[in-house]
Structure 1
């Protein structure tokens, strides 16, 4: 049957249980239809065989009648009928499955949160344009009153409907059990943890990038300080080889003695200027006619 369904529809492997549960329920509805219209409707074997459905061979229908006439089967059918009558507040979604309803309710929430059982119950038991049966209306009103009085959604739902029974979980639709629901919750937690780890990793990468930018700024500042120190060293050489120069006057071209961030463009502009001689000097210079820019061009070598 699973292979046959896949020839008609495109369904992933995860949907096999849902399909098989649907086939099971369809088969049960078919048997109920046959029993109600071709077995319970007639009291004798002759009338039943006379009105045998055309799509069932008479041999098979006779075997089915004999099976339904067994005392144990009659007792089981009676018990199932009583249990079915106890079920109340049937949903009104018809072919629309609960998964689609749950997805629509989830889309209306800010954080895409899962709807509660109470919200699912109200959504699947009401329908626009159609009157709700009195019993369902009373239950919906009671759910809303309990929540207004401060009860949690889960507590109010449990107080009205009792504990979950083995098998399906209320307001989740076909094929959803407590085991499968717990497994889905664990999967969601793992996915959320993985997403949080990715976000944390992205934040760390962002911080590392910012640190790299700061380090590059410090490296640039360090280069400027080294360049300033080289200029000062060159000034000391100039003063040493030119007795008419004053060290304080020479340092005036490059700033104070304390290391500080210097605009590199200002330093480069200073290099192209002629270094002035001391106004009170009467000694002959060792540099002759070389300018300050020529001295820097010599790379700081000892000048004569």
Structure 2
């Protein structure tokens, strides 16, 4: 039991007197029973706050358990998922890659199709998607490929960089098999990868400024604007503004501001008679320049239409027309052969009747080898 003499009650680092009186008038203290918390412990504890941690797909699992698979729309033009649940696809692909993707390959493209198929099936277990549709399959595959690359990049930065090969191999992450980690460490140490890393670093250093749009994809932001304005041809210039200008910090740098102002100038120019006004996408490409693999200012998703692809489209159209023509001629040839066969059968029957022979005894006759005349005719 507690002692019956009075003492000050110390809570944490503050010495405060807090007397407790029972109905009988007895005053007791908890000084000897509650230890004081030192300031140094409190400070060190606050510095070691636990982070959010990697996504485990729990939110997606809860939705699937409650309402079944999540329906997603994959835009053919934008090349990305759109709608309220579009971010869940990228999140789930990241979880699938971290948990189940094989690491002992140089690139995503080197992973055998059988292994990729297992990852596709895990995604399809939670989303209603038809991977037989080309642009849907490409969207899912590209999302998994980006998550695969990003995951290995984070592993390299956290557990490999700045260490010798032996030390790095001993620093294996807890969620990765040692044999897989050893393979990665050895691959990252090869001259082939070192040269690739140097080239990628040089390319990254050419970036003059970064966006400040947060984690939401540019395509999702753009689609949101179009749903508000009801205009599918507008929104790119406003998107550029919102992803490169912060209300608190201003423009990411002066060059981004100058490019935005130039876009506005081109948009406000008078349109010559008989000409069409350029779209915001065309204005953005004129100001930011064009790249072969993506549209600058729109991130991952929509791809530019190149002259090479246009040439291929023209060739494909001509090829399809030629195939259709050949198929038509082949069908006409088959019909002609059927008619010839029917005519030969009639000739065969006619000759048999004329010579008094049964059709089985008569020598087959064709329109190209008529029987010689006889005295009976």
> TM-score scaled by structure 2?
0.41
Bigger share in helix = 1
Larger Rg: 1
